[in-house]
Structure 1
């Protein structure tokens, strides 16, 4: 019962509160596009606060998290980390499914913020678009964040990486920082009930650019699944 009440309060406060952030981004985005990034960061902090004080979810980072224009490859288990990336990094450029950019209002905000559209079936042209967007972000000193599994994965599952990681790794030639997360234990995909507990980010060993594709993929796959049983 306590979990259900907490989950309901979280849903009400977070989603109602999010409307205010969306409206602010729409309003100020036309006047000062950089304001969208500040508003998005405030929204991420609001989300983490709701998770902490309403759901009882505490965030812990194991390992040193370097800041800067690296390629961060992150395990994807729930909606939590897609929003929380803005708490971990300064204005990160996050890879998002291309169809999300077509959502009215939200799509325009995503473009002004500088999210990177990912078209999973468009082949070489999609990689060129992805590389151009990533190059722009790194030139601004922003981190690139990618969820290489392509969708949220239940905790404990270890699917292979999508081809997008290898393409971006080869094109950008940036050091890779793999990050494991176990958010699916307390906030499972598609579940209303969200439990209290600790959400852990585990930072893996940095992977240098220029490795053989199989070697790079194997290292990343092992590192992002470090918190899986």
Structure 2
């Protein structure tokens, strides 16, 4: 047992020594891509997330199992958030979606500007009517060019088994965009805990049954909450 833990610790060390320095290069060069334009910024982010998926598989021994299917065309993807893993893995799987970000992340110097150039949709928890209009405008612009929308509707990363209620921003996007909804469940926190060593294993990303637009708030929130937590 002790030998297995040593091997896992070594794999985590190798991952840290390779993934984070390369990620620093991607972060440092992101403003250049952002200056060129949104397409360049999306391509830049996708190269980073594909590198992340490679490093996760080869260095940590963590593989991805994708279940379910996606509809053609733009959709709203509310996803469970248990680890950094799905934030990056879904960027590649969903072909560069517009991602809903917290205001504090968008306010980071330089990085926040690059995120906005990527097409991130910024949600302000203390949103004024003006801020909400801006969020909806950015989301509509992403859909107009065929991009999916990715949101973590519980609002924060949680441990396996935790199922907090959805934040109100999801229902607002759903009502305004009138898009089909594809809930995404994951069990990433089992092998990728918030604290401690990442362990070899399989992470499932499950695309749930497509939910049509037009439902009332109580029904859409209940269906999404149940679907993103189905692997808990």
TM-score of the superposition, structure 1-length normalised?
0.95
What residue number does 1:203 align with? 207
Provide the C-alpha distance between the structure 2 equivalents of 1:173 and 1:215, rounded to a whole number of angstroms: 15
Question: Which segment is superposed worse, 19-28 or 196-205?
Answer: 19-28
What residue number does 2:155 align with? 150
Kept in 1, the 8 Å contact 2:37–2:117? The answer is: no
Mind listing any 5+ residue stretches in structure 1 that lack a counterpart? none
Provide the C-alpha distance between the structure 2 equivalents of 1:43 and 1:134, rounded to a whole number of angstroms: 23
What residue number does 1:2 align with? 7
What residue number does 1:222 align with? 226
Kept in 2, the 8 Å contact 1:72–1:144? The answer is: yes
Kept in 1, the 8 Å contact 2:38–2:119? The answer is: no
What residue number does 2:176 align with? 171
Number of positions where the alignment pairs a residue of Structure 1 with one of Structure 2:
227
User: Over aligned residues, Cα RMSD in angstroms?
Assistant: 1.3
Which SS does the other structure have where 2:182 is aligned?
A: strand
Residue 33 (structure 1) shift = 4.1
Q: Within the alignment, does 1:184 sit opposite 2:189 as a pair?
A: yes
TM-score of the superposition, structure 2-length normalised?
0.93
Provide the C-alpha distance between the structure 2 equivalents of 1:201 and 1:173, rounded to a whole number of angstroms: 24
Residue 32 (structure 1) shift = 4.1
Mind listing any 5+ residue stretches in structure 2 that lack a counterpart? 1-5
Kept in 2, the 8 Å contact 1:127–1:168? The answer is: no
Which SS does the other structure have where 1:152 is aligned?
A: coil
Kept in 1, the 8 Å contact 2:31–2:110? The answer is: yes
Provide the C-alpha distance between the structure 2 equivalents of 1:46 and 1:147, rounded to a whole number of angstroms: 22
Residue 12 (structure 1) shift = 1.8
Residue 24 (structure 1) shift = 2.7
Kept in 1, the 8 Å contact 2:101–2:121? The answer is: yes
